[in-house]
Structure 1
Amino acid sequence: MKKLILSAIIVLGSLSSYASIEAAPAQTKTVVSAQAEYTEVSADAVPAAVKTALQTAYPGAKLDKAFVNEKKEYKLEISVGDQKATVFSDVNGNWLKI
């Protein structure tokens, strides 16, 4: 008789654990940032501060193409020897991490 009561308690106790309220999944927020649109400009339109920063950081670098966005951030396609790279700078010649 004790075994029957004990097994009934165990069965009822295990059923009640499945009847508990399930926690709602945490809401996730998705942030999508659109890449800024850059328009191509001539190498002469690039500010002197950006050109100076480019020559300081990458001696002997050749500016192949330059692009600018509404925030006056510059996307510079450069080549140093046989290597090509794209770097980003603000109007004051500070490098940006994108």
Structure 2
Amino acid sequence: MKNLFLSAAIILGGLTSFATTSPVTITNAKTIVLQDEYTEIKVEEVPAAVTDALKKAYPDAILSKAYKNAKSEYKLDVTVGDKVGSLYANADGSWIKK
């Protein structure tokens, strides 16, 4: 009877070692950022259509920085009151959602 319990314990103990799983960790992760490349330009270089659209949409906005990409799209860093944000526009003054 002792041998039966002993052999059952050994067999069950051996099976539990095969049932364990090791944790899986990811060691190599890639980050891909798709973004249009904007280069900083002077505020005076922004087309009049864009500045007029900004004044019409946000009369109290202060244009602090301006950027332009290869597609003639403009990124405008503006301040309205105590809020700071970025707006995107085409050369003709149409707003772009990004």
The residue correspondences of 1:1-98 to structure 2 (distance < 5 A) are 34-98=34-98
Q: What amino acid maps onto 2:46 in structure 1?
A: V
Q: What amino acid maps onto 2:81 in structure 1?
A: G
Shift of 1:55: 0.5
TM-score (norm 2): 0.65
Q: Deviations over 1:13-57 (max 9, x none)?
A: xxxxxxxxxxxxxxxxxxx78211000000000000000000001
CA distance in 2, matches of 1:77, 1:57: 14
Q: Name the % identity.
A: 46
Aligned length: 67
CA distance in 1, matches of 2:57, 2:86: 13
TM-score (norm 1): 0.65
Instruction: Name structure 2 gaps, 5 residues minimum.
Output: 1-31
CA distance in 2, matches of 1:41, 1:87: 15
CA distance in 1, matches of 2:93, 2:80: 19
The secondary structure found in structure 2 opposite 1:86 is strand
Superposed structure 1 runs of 4+ greater than 6 Å apart: none
Instruction: Name structure 1 gaps, 5 residues minimum.
Output: 1-31
CA distance in 1, matches of 2:92, 2:81: 26
